[in-house]
Structure 1
Amino acid sequence: MIETTKAIVINTIKYGDTSLIATCYTNSCGLKTYMLKGVLKAKKAKVKTAYFQPLMQLNLTANHNNRGALNSIRDVEIINFYGTIYSDIKKQSIALFLSEVLYYSIKEEEKNEALFEYLETSFLWLDMHSNISNFHLLFLLNLTKYLGFYPKLNSVNLLYFDMLEGRFISSSSSNTVSGEKLDQFKRLLGINFDAIHEVNFNASNRQNVLSILIQYFELHLEGFRKPKSLNVLKSVFN
């Protein structure tokens, strides 16, 4: 079926010498994977490799096949051009890291307009702002709302956070966070990106919270892997 939809690039891998396989999150039908035949050698083709950088926002006209099958793209254009994400080293590192997180987190081939809007508006915010050192932390935390395991905020004043249950508890058990690390984690709860400048983490704080979030994703998402770009991200923000 031929469909036109907005899409966000999540991942690309090389296929053979001349082709790419691109995974995108679409507004109309969730996660879709496309075969881009000959795109690496065709200089005048409508579909260009430059369109498929991490988190690029596109408008696709595509032939969508049955669930799980590779799809093909008939036409593509860039929408919501980024002005800084691919030229700023910190934003580049965030984009690469978050594209890996999304690749391991989103599996559903079904429409979820709320999730798509969150991705779309978040990446535009990243592009337009300069105070972005903690962006990836808040992005991951708020992403859990759409994936179904945002922390339960009742009893938030208790001394331990049970990552497996996603709730605050009064005594320590396995997979709990407490003390200073928990205090840092709590500073992100309930805020949006426009309030992120109020969270003054140093490099150590940032690494502590990132480690908590990565473990939280690992506990709740089957098949989730630590992104290969994690060390690069840590290095850039140290």
Structure 2
Amino acid sequence: MLSKNNSIVLSKLKFRDHDLIVKCYTEHRGVVSYLLRGVLKSKKGRSKMVYYQELSQLEIEESYKPNQSLQYIKEVKFNYIYKSLHTNIYKSSIVMFLAEILGHVLKEEEKNEDLYHFISAALQYLDNEDTYANFHLLFLLKLTRYLGFQPENLETHYPFFNLETGIFETYNHGVYSVSGENLIVLKQLLGTNFDTLNTIKLSAVRRQEFLSMLLHYFELHLDSFKTPKSLQILNDVFH
């Protein structure tokens, strides 16, 4: 069955000598893996690799068969053409980092159009924005809503945040209680959107410390979540 599906590329993997497996998050089917036969064999095939860069937004005409682990692409074109996301070294380090996280946490083979549109719109914002050093922090924080463990923000005036329960509290309950500078940043980010993110000013050290806390939050709420390998590259670039 041929159908069209908007897709965001999460990762690609060489398969056998000349084939490629591309994992995408799609608008209508959730996570889908596509087998591209012979794409590495010829110059014409390799020229198509430009479509499959991390977090590229594509419109795919697919040959879809239910209960088949690998699907096939008949035609592909860009759904949105990035201006800077893959050419700006700072933005591309964010892309590498977020693609690794999304590739790990997005596993369901069922559609979630709200999540797809959130990711798509956020990436387009990043592509067009000149001030973006804190983008990945807000992106991950907003992503928790779709993954089911968004921090509750009813009692944000309380002096502690519990990473394990995801709620603000009046007392320190031990190792999972957050206070101080990380708590201030959390409250700031919970109260903002991408269009006002540039009002939040953080040093490189503060940004890295908050990101470390945020990744720990993911670890506590997602089974088998691991610190992304690309974290060090991201921290080095934004140091």
Please report the TM-score for the alignment, with normalisation by the length of structure 2: 0.95
Give 1:21 deviation, angstroms: 0.9
Name 2:6's counterpart in structure 1.
6
Residues 1:203 and 2:201 aligned together? no
| Contact 1:46 1:75 (C-alpha < 8 Å) held by counterparts | no
| Contact 2:84 2:128 (C-alpha < 8 Å) held by counterparts | yes
Q: How many residues align?
A: 238
Counterpart of 2:202 in structure 1: which amino acid? F
| Larger deviation, residues 192-201 vs 35-44 | 35-44
| Larger deviation, residues 216-225 vs 84-93 | 216-225
Name 2:145's counterpart in structure 1.
145
Structure-1 separation of matches of 2:68 and 2:157: 44
Give 1:132 deviation, angstroms: 0.6
Give 1:170 deviation, angstroms: 1.6
Give 1:197 deviation, angstroms: 0.7
Name 1:233's counterpart in structure 2.
234
Residue-by-residue CA offset, 1:17-55 (whole Å, 9 max, x unaligned): 211111100011111011111111232249811111001
Counterpart of 1:213 in structure 2: which amino acid? L
Name 2:18's counterpart in structure 1.
18
Name 1:55's counterpart in structure 2.
55
Structure-2 separation of matches of 1:179 and 1:160: 8
Structure-1 separation of matches of 2:169 and 2:193: 25
| Contact 2:40 2:46 (C-alpha < 8 Å) held by counterparts | no
* SS at structure 2 position matched to 1:6: strand
Aligned residues: percent identity? Answer: 41
| Contact 2:97 2:231 (C-alpha < 8 Å) held by counterparts | yes
1:1-238 matched pairs, under 5 angstroms: 1-45=1-45, 48-67=48-67, 69-173=69-173, 174-238=175-239
Structure-2 separation of matches of 1:70 and 1:17: 17
- Relative distance call for 1:96 and 1:68 in structure 2 (3 A) is farther
Q: Which consecutive segments of 4 or more residues in structure 1 shift more than 3 A?
A: none
Structure-2 separation of matches of 1:15 and 1:57: 22
Unaligned residue ranges in structure 2 (runs of 5+): none
Give 1:64 deviation, angstroms: 2.2
- Relative distance call for 1:94 and 1:159 in structure 2 (3 A) is same
- Relative distance call for 1:55 and 1:142 in structure 2 (3 A) is same
Give 1:68 deviation, angstroms: 6.3
RMSD of aligned residue pairs (Cα, Å): 1.5
Unaligned residue ranges in structure 1 (runs of 5+): none
Structure-2 separation of matches of 1:33 and 1:13: 10
